[in-house]
Amino acid sequence: MAGVNADRSRQWIPRVRVRVPATSANLGPGFDSLGLALALYDDVTVEITEGGLSIAVDGEGAEVADRGERHLIVKVLRRTFDLLEELSGAGLGQPPGLRLSCVNRIPHSRGLGSSSAAIIAGIVAARALHPCGRLLDDAAALTLATEIEGHPDNVAPCLYGGLTIAWSEPDGPRALRLDLDRQVVVFVPDHTLPTERARGLLPQTVPHEDAAVNAGRAALLIAALTGGLGEDVMLAATEDRLHQEYRAPAMPESADLVARLRAAGVPAVISGAGPTVLAFTTASRVDSIGPKVGNGWHKHSLNVDPHGAYVQPPGP
């Protein structure tokens, strides 16, 4: 058996390092369709070993390093290896052993796409490790990631970078990537909000008028973001009536911050399912209205990430 494992090990790429960006979805009116990749990253290293499974996590999520096969990245790696086996018929099955090392900077359960980053990291790492990984192109990777995550709005910008518009066809998800050179400021609280809880607050139906307003605002937001329009247009473009008001009771501090920033003329929204707040503005603008922000927030000025997930060059 040891000889078989050794032969199989030589067919795998021995080690890969993947960098994945944080993401912000919805962006106000773009519920479950718009997403933005942000220059805040998790670095994931996966090595093929002779046997067993080991996991080391530095930073966010260190408390779940002992989950073993239940760790999200491990589950995604396994699922992607199985899919590649179906596509290739290579007869490799699963690798003999895995060593997973994560350096995590994306806050967990705060609306910045940490689970999407883990999913995309697992898929990109698996196809880089597998000798037939080229069979899983980005479109297929998006489909797999959406199946795991449940919706494509966060996984699309994590995979492609930039600003993405995601939608679903009968045969699977699609995404359009747009270049965006812009700075945003995110306000991250200490407390978390599970996405499942936030989604559970949404109604089954919404008034037709609210849906129409959101459709117009989402179209305006794309024009404002890609056309470099000013904060006055951005303020109108980021109005939302589909999700933020309904979720406000679960994150009153975040809803209050959004209201205070918008009253000061700053285009602010809930990032993803919250409770992080994202503002389409600059750090200097935020500093100028410091009293409107208040304390208790970790402020990060971030550029839009233009690349999405990628395999880093080999290193020590």
State pLDDT tens for residues 154-183: 999 999 999 999 999 999 999 999 999 999
68 labeled part of a ligand binding site: no
Q: Quick check: 301 and 283 in contact, CB under 8 A? A: yes
Instruction: Confirm whether residue 116 is marked as ligand binding.
Output: yes
pLDDT score recorded for residue 1 = 32
Residue 110 assigned as binding residue: yes
DSSP string, 59-122: ETTGGGGGGGGGSHHHHHHHHHHHHHHHHH--S--S-SEEEEEEEE-SPTTSSS-HHHHHHHHH
Q: Does 109 appear as a known binding residue?
A: yes
pLDDT of residue 115: 96
**Average of per-residue pLDDT across 115-130:** 98
Report pLDDT for 230: 81
**Whether residue 285 has pLDDT greater than 90:** no
Is 170 annotated to bind ligand?
no
Q: What residue ranges do the domains of the chain occupy?
A: 2-179, 183-303
User: Given pLDDT bands bounded at 50, 70 and 90, which one contains residue 315?
Assistant: low
> Which residues are CB-contacts of 148 (< 8 A; sequence separation ≥ 6)?
76, 79, 119
Cα–Cα distance, 87 to 80 (Å, whole number): 10
Architecture of domain 183-303 in this structure = 2-Layer Sandwich (3.30)
Query: Any binding-site annotation on 113?
Result: yes
191 annotated to bind ligand: no
- State what percent of residues in the chain have pLDDT above 90: 82
φ, ψ (nearest 5 deg) of residue 117: -65, -40
Backbone angles phi, psi at 14, to 5 degrees: -70, -30
User: 267 in helix, strand or coil?
Assistant: coil
Class of domain 2-179: alpha beta
Residue 52, annotated as binding a ligand:
no
In 3D, which of 114, 288, 255, 263 has the Cα closest to residue 187? Answer: 255
pLDDT average, residue stretch 190-218:
90
Is 88 annotated as ligand-binding? no
The predicted-structure confidence for 66-120, as pLDDT tens digits, reads as follows 899 999 999 999 999 999 999 999 899 999 999 999 999 999 999 999 999 999 9
E-assigned strand segments in 120-262: 163-169, 172-178, 183-188
pTM of the model: 0.93
Query: What SS3 class is residue 215?
Result: helix
